[in-house]
Amino acid sequence: MESCMSANCAAALSSTPGSIFTHFIQVLLASLCTLSKNGDYPIDRTEEILVSEREFDFVIAGGGTAGTILARRLTEVMDWKVLLIEAGEDPNPITDVPGLFVTLLGQVQDYSYKVEPQEGMCQGSTNKQCRWSKGKALGGSSVINAMIHVFGNDRDYDKWASLGNEGWSYKEVLPYFKKSLNCPAEHIAKWGEKYCGIGGPMNIRHDNYSITNILDIVLNSAHELGFNVLEPLIGDRFVGFGRAMGTMENTRRVNTAKAFLSPIKDRKNLYVMKSSRVDKILLEGDRATGVRVTSKDGRSIDVKASKEVILSAGSIASPQIMMLSGIGPKEHLTEMGIPTVADLPVGENLQDHIVWLGMHIAYVNESTVPPSATFLMDATYEYLAHNSGELAATGINLLGFVNVNDPSSVYPDIEFHFGHFPRWNPVKVGSLMATFAFNDELIRETQKNIMESDVLFPCTVLLNPKSRGVVKLRSVDPADPVKIYANYLTEQEDLKTLLKSVDTVKSLLNTETMKKHGMWLRHFDIPGCRHTQPDSTEYWECSIRHVATSLFHAAGTVRMGPSNDPRAVVNARLKVHGIDKLRVIDASIMPNIVSGNINAPTMMIAEKGADMIKEDWGTRVHVEL
């Protein structure tokens, strides 16, 4: 297959086209050569492990954002044998294309969890169940997310430290954010290295192909209201509007497997099992000794970890594996018929960023023309031939951070993601709505609006939810998905905060900048809300209950805290309370979810966790504070 691909690449790059169609095919083939291939990633050593290699120093369960970073950092110690187990395969090459990220969700490299039905929430979703996407591939959710790279703010991490988690203040975690990064030289020249590192494995760049006039309108309106224009977005100020950088390079997505594993894919001490599921932790008394794994062909084996077992399977799967192993709430484990090894609140403290797509800013854009019958092919050609156009960008890198409860605060409670959808293009907006698993009625209503005007979506994100959910086992079968109780808006304050975000959008619309462009707040005709008056509090609340859903930022289910905290599962060294040689290193350890997208914080947790492991096993580390 590799030789065939190489031959195709060479032919495409050297041939002289005889027609436009031939040229298009040649560009397609040549461009596919620049997208990811199986050979870019570590080989699958499953068969070798099944036959002979069963003992390792470290076993990492989960090859997502955190797991791939851990595998890179731990194999830097050449005497350590490290096994990384991932339930998915290598990222599909199409995941490299930024503009296609909305088409990836709900597909083969997405777990597509469904939350349990909740009265008064997810009412516009298919079967009234919100979908929770989570990446099922080497690189995890970094393979299918929107690539936005933000840190949160200093208060987030200082709060973690104040809860008894020594070493987790903002000052102490900032070096680990930077350690991963390779920021553009021009960014460093202009802004310095305080918040953006150089020489790290992960490239982050600005998306240079978004529709800039729309961005300028929003930024000018925000400035007119007195908001900071955050340039750069990551810095000392946390309230304002600005453009985020993303995990990309040369208009290609950079997932964590590509960034951290591809350069070291041939390390002899790195072992990777793909399409393999971790079923449980092997325990001898209160000590973890390894894991039980089911391979892609259904064979079950036990692999040993002489030093540590590390769970990096995420906020849904990490608690599932723990509970299946007897580590969790005693009452629930007893209910499931599982003997309790450690009675800990695993699966509790579940948090997520809820996103509301109910506000639509409409305007007549004179520059918008109906798409041609070949617009998809044209966009594909522009991207493959010139690395530009719609497919070169996600189009949602403009963010706004505001505090709707206390406008004088320097910390936000709401985040806006701005997405522009041009008139006469129902495919693009329909893809967005389908991404979040909204029902056909809502998709049709959205597409009807887009035939009449351009629409700017100020997608509203609740940053610091007070509501807490829980993850529970559905059965003792590891193949059974867990039960996810999101418990959205069970705390009334969460609903009130979302409702107040309407006033911020109205204020933007009342600026001279937006008035000049004839922008207005369009009524979104939600079938389930037709009994309400447009623009009434009752309507907006109904809208939230229909078109608010998950931003796929599950966190907190294996909470970090000291041993005297009854809510805590792991300590500040990320070791499970009461269980020796077992750590959890992923977003599940967050005591409180951070005020922004969580991929960058998850990377930081993995970088810091890797250094903790090295320190605890006598390996010197050096990170400048």
Query: Are 374 and 499 in a shared domain?
Result: yes
Q: Please, which pLDDT band fits residue 10 given cuts at 50, 70 and 90? A: very low
- Domain contains 605: yes
Query: Are 580 and 592 in a shared domain?
Result: yes
Report yes or no: 567 and 345 within 8 Å, Cβ to Cβ.
yes
- Last residue in a domain, options 550, 570, 587: 550
Of 575, 404, 581, the closest CA to residue 500 belongs to 404
Of 311, 367, 279, 304, the closest CA to residue 574 belongs to 311
Query: Are 441 and 516 in a shared domain?
Result: yes
Query: Are 191 and 231 in a shared domain?
Result: no
- Domain contains 23: no
Query: Are 365 and 496 in a shared domain?
Result: yes
pLDDT in tens, 563-589: 999 999 999 999 999 999 999 999 999
- Last residue in a domain, options 550, 567, 585: 550
91: which 2 tokens?
Answer: 């990222």
Cα–Cα distance measured from residue 267 to residue 614, given in angstroms and rounded to the nearest whole number: 18
Statement: residue 360 has pLDDT above 80: yes
Q: What is the pTM assigned to this prediction?
A: 0.94
Number of domains in the chain: 2
DSSP string of 476-501, one letter each residue: S-TTSPPEEE--TT-SHHHHHHHHHH
- Domain contains 141: yes
Q: What SS3 class is residue 533? A: coil
| Terminal-to-terminal C-alpha distance of the chain | 47
Cα–Cα distance measured from residue 63 to residue 274, given in angstroms and rounded to the nearest whole number: 9
The reply, when asked if residue 278 is annotated as ligand binding, is yes
The pLDDT value given to residue 530: 96
Query: Are 383 and 458 in a shared domain?
Result: yes
Query: Are 498 and 563 in a shared domain?
Result: no
- Domain contains 158: yes
Report yes or no: 101 and 431 within 8 Å, Cβ to Cβ.
no
Query: Are 456 and 533 in a shared domain?
Result: yes
Mean pLDDT, residues 174-195 taken together: 96
- Last residue in a domain, options 550, 575, 603: 550
Catalytic residue among 23, 517, 553, 622: 553
pLDDT in tens, 121-173: 999 999 999 999 999 999 999 999 999 999 999 999 999 999 999 999 999 99
Query: Are 372 and 337 in a shared domain?
Result: no
Report yes or no: 349 and 465 within 8 Å, Cβ to Cβ.
no
The pLDDT value given to residue 328: 98
At position 46, the amino acid (one-letter code) is: T
The pLDDT value given to residue 393: 85
Query: Are 448 and 430 in a shared domain?
Result: yes
Range of the structural domain that residue 599 is part of:
38-91+137-199+252-351+554-620
Known catalytic residue at 149: no
The Cβ-side half-sphere exposure at 24, using a 13 Å CA radius, reads 11
Report yes or no: 316 and 67 within 8 Å, Cβ to Cβ.
no
Of 59, 107, 55, the closest CA to residue 310 belongs to 59
Report yes or no: 136 and 61 within 8 Å, Cβ to Cβ.
no
Q: Is 445 left (phi over 0), alpha (psi -120 to 50) or beta?
A: alpha
Cα–Cα distance measured from residue 92 to residue 101, given in angstroms and rounded to the nearest whole number: 12
- Domain contains 48: yes
Q: Please, which pLDDT band fits residue 371 given cuts at 50, 70 and 90? A: confident
| SS3 of 44-100 | CCHHHHHHCCCEEEEEEECCCHHHHHHHHHHCCCCCCCEEEECCCECCCHHHHCHHH
pLDDT in tens, 309-330: 999 999 999 999 999 999 999 9
Of 102, 402, 371, the closest CA to residue 222 belongs to 402
Peptide bond into 232 cis (omega under 30): yes
| SS3 of 156-223 | HHHHHHHCCCCCCCHHHHHHHHHHCEECCHHHHHHHCCCCCCCCCCEECEECCCCCHHHHHHHHHHHH
> What is the percent of the chain where pLDDT is above 70?
92
Cα–Cα distance measured from residue 99 to residue 435, given in angstroms and rounded to the nearest whole number: 13
Query: Are 230 and 167 in a shared domain?
Result: no
CATH of the domain at 492: 3.30.560.10
Residue 379 CA from chain centroid, whole number: 26
- Domain contains 172: yes
- Domain contains 1: no
- Domain contains 419: yes
CATH of the domain at 146: 3.50.50.60
